[in-house]
Structures are given as C-alpha cells and as structure tokens.
Amino acid sequence: MNIRLKIVLTSLLTALSCQTYAVDFNLNSIFSGVFAISDNEAEYVGGIKNKPNLDGDTSAGIQLTLRGDEPGWQLTTLLLAKGEESFNLETDTAYLTYYASERTTVRAGRIKFPPMLAAEYIEIGFAYPWIRPPAEVYGPATLGFDTMTGIDLVYEIPFDAFTIRLQPFFGRSEFTQGVGLFPFDPTNPDAIDAIPLTDLLAVYSSAEQAELLALDAAAASNPGALAAAIGSGSSLAVFTALSELLGHDFDYVTAVADNMSGLNIIWSNEFSTFRLAYGRMTVPNIPDAKLTESIDGLVEYFSFAGELDWNNLISYLEIIRRNVAGDVPDLRAGYLTLGYRFGATMPHITFAAHEPIQRGLPYVEQESIIFGVRHDLNSSVALKIETQHIRPKGGFSGSQGIFIDGTPGTDVNIFSLAVDMFF
C-alpha cells in the first residue's frame, strides 16, 4: 500500500505570518516470506540447515518518508522485523536528506554502507532477482555490517548520455561479529588441562597456526590427551583436536568500526550503472574476548561493481577486496549474475566465490552456483525459487566455507522458495 497524503503544518512560531509548509507523507510496506532447507546439518547464513527453515530470511517492514518542498529536505526511516532476530521490530535506517541543489544531496543519520552495490535495497527482496544476495559478498564473513551512522554527500555531474556521481562518506558502525571464543584462560596451563578436549579452541598465533598446517596429517591418528600434547610440545595433537571442534564454540560479540571514510565514483546511463569504491575504518580488538581470530586496526574495503538492465537482459557484477590488520586473513570475493526476462518470468544464474588472499590460519573459502527463477505476479509481488550448490573449503577441516556453525565436510545443496512484496 502506497499512501500519499498532503499535510499542511502550521507552527505557533509562524502563525502570525500565516506561513505554511507542504509536506508529503509516504508509507511503503515490505515483506519477504522464505522457506529454505539444505542437505547438511551444518548451519549456513540465515540459519539454514537440514530442517525446514521459515524464519532465517523472512522479514517484514515499513518504510516511512516525509518530504518537504524541493529543494528542501526528506526524512526516511525503515522499521524492520527479521525472523533471524525473533521478529523484534528495529530501526534499520533513519536519516535526513537535504537537497542542497539540483546536483548536490546530503544525507545524515543511520544509512546503508555506501560501497556495497545492493546495500540501499538489500532489505527489499522485491528489488533483486535472488532470494538472498550472495553471502560470499554480503554475508557476515566479509564485513559483518551493512549500515553506518554518519553522513554522505552525492554530487552529480551530468553529461549528454551519462551521469557521474561522486559520493564521499564518513561515519562509524557498531555491529555483531561472529567469533570463536576461549572458554578458559589460555595463559594458564592448569586451566587448559582441566578442560575436556571437546571444549578447547586454538591458542596459537598466526605463524604457529601456519606451521601446524605444514605438518603431516597422518601423524594425527592418535593425538592423546591435551596435557600430554602440551607437555611434549606436540602442536599437531592440539591441531587435530581443534579440527574436530571447528564450529563447536562459536559466539557473537559487539564490535565497532570507527573513523570510517571513503569515496564512491558512480557512472550511469539509462540502462547501466558502474561504480568504483573505497572505504577505510579502524576496528579495535574486542576487550576481554579471547578470540581465535581478531581484527585489530585498519580495515580497507575496495570494490568494483556494475548492474545492467537492457531490453530483457539483466546482469550484476561485484568484486570486493578486504584488507585487515590482525590475525584475520585479507580476502577477495565476488559474484556474477546473468538473467533474461521472458515476459513476467526471469530465470537467472549466479557464480560466486569467497577466498583469502593468504591461506594462513584461520581462513575460510567457498564457491557456489545459484540457479533461480523469478516470476512477477504483478508490479508489487514476486514469486521466487532457487537451488544453490556450495563447495566449502578452508578452515581446520578443509571444508568449512562460510558456514556459521558446524562443519559441512562435503558439498552442500540449498533449496529455497520465497514470496517478495513491496507496496
């Protein structure tokens, strides 16, 4: 439902002059209902595993917009309830837009992270062909957030056949980071010895972990007790135990991306958009969290992206690179989507990958292919069906992928159905 009401606001301060201000009020409703199931008990992004899942990708929301006389201002907020967050209603975005001129727009508040191609409409499933954007780029293993609190500016430079937009941005973000945690003090040998082998996590530096990878796995057939392994200096025994425990102790903690800044350069014409983006931020180590992996310092984000909607052909391309300080490996990720409209029906295929730049521990890696069909019932409702084949790699087991809990150990298939609405 799209409600457009003309409201005349007259304040006490302007009553004497009888001055009025025209404000447009718009209300849009958003809904995505998703069924998903995989053929593996390991938990994928969105809580997908080998049991029917109706919550992970399901969401409902309301977008409110108040718009003043132009050039003027606009207030926008998106209230969203997600199944993966127990359908608690939360503010996803809330920002004020000021139209300084025909070419210059300024936004301030809680906005989407600008360098990501689909960030502005990621919560509106009706706006894109997939049931969920490729997790190799948009999942928690890449950044862990898609919003920031800050300010951005868009300056347009029009030409005859195309437009160039420059978009600098500044801000910060608090987000939830998935990490492996130590349930004990790793500096206390007595405490380590007292913990059952099935409750232990890595206590080694990145260099030591890399050394462990080089050891002969055949020697791990009988690792023995952890105390004996530590006493004999046998790193391999500990490493073998850890490979059995991958995903056992996994938790979410609050992290902060501060001093965030960057620039988007966007080229667009009537049927295509291309963007080159750079962002940087500092992510300090999380206090009191004994992590198996930790970002500690500067994080840089580079991306090249484009989308095409020409006649009946659609295409999306996004390639990103993330450089970090700390133990977490630098990574690159990307996807390519191709689709073709046959009337109201559009089959599409996506190739996606997520891989580390350097393969020291810890790291995750995966490739996937998505086959999907979207059918538009009308201008507000779309039905979607997808199957995704995932080839997980990396981790202690060699087959972790970007699964958030458990180790799949083999290739995984996910089947999904969805109905998306925007009205």
Domain that holds residue 401: 3-181+249-422
3-state secondary structure of 140: coil
The pLDDT assigned to 167 comes to 97
The pLDDT assigned to 39 comes to 94
Do 241 and 263 lie in one domain? The reply is no
Do 160 and 195 lie in one domain? The reply is no
Phi-psi region of 393 (alpha: psi -120 to 50; beta: other; left: phi over 0): beta
Domain count, the chain: 2
Do 363 and 283 lie in one domain? The reply is yes
Q: How far apart are CA 364 and CA 210, in angstroms?
A: 14
Do 222 and 352 lie in one domain? The reply is no
| CA-wise closest residue to 367 among 357, 354, 358 | 354
Q: What are the b/e assignments for 7-32, b being 16+ CB within 10 Å?
A: eeeeeeeeeeeeeeeebeeeebebbb
Do 145 and 223 lie in one domain? The reply is no
Q: Give the DSSP H or E segment for 421.
A: strand 412-422
Do 167 and 201 lie in one domain? The reply is no
Do 228 and 272 lie in one domain? The reply is no
Q: Which domain-ending residue is among 212, 245, 278?
A: 245
**How far is the CA of 269 from the CAs of 153, 154, 307, 313, in angstroms?**
20, 16, 11, 16
Q: Which domain-ending residue is among 218, 245, 272?
A: 245
CATH number of the structural domain spanning residue 138: 2.40.160.10
User: Per-block average pLDDT, block size 10, for the chain (423 residues)?
Assistant: 39 40 84 96 90 93 86 90 89 94 94 92 94 92 86 96 97 70 42 40 43 39 40 41 41 74 96 96 61 63 96 97 79 96 98 83 82 97 98 75 83 97 94
Q: How far apart are CA 109 and CA 152, in angstroms?
A: 9
Do 295 and 239 lie in one domain? The reply is no
Q: Which amino acid is at 27?
A: L
The pLDDT assigned to 184 comes to 40
Q: Which domain-ending residue is among 212, 227, 245?
A: 245
Q: Give me 237's structure tokens.
A: 């025994």
**How far is the CA of 315 from the CAs of 348, 369, 375, 385, in angstroms?**
9, 15, 17, 18
The pLDDT assigned to 23 comes to 76
Do 99 and 168 lie in one domain? The reply is yes
Give me Rg for the CA atoms of the chain. 24
Q: How far apart are CA 255 and CA 83, in angstroms?
A: 22
Do 268 and 177 lie in one domain? The reply is yes
CA 343 to chain centre: 31
User: What is the dihedral sign for C-alpha 235, 241, 247, 253?
Assistant: negative
102 φ/ψ angles, rounded to the nearest 5 degrees = -65, -25
Q: Give me 40's structure tokens.
A: 């593996």
On whether the CB atoms of residues 231 and 204 are closer than 8 A, the answer is no
Q: How far apart are CA 22 and CA 7, in angstroms?
A: 6
Do 255 and 400 lie in one domain? The reply is yes
Do 198 and 66 lie in one domain? The reply is no
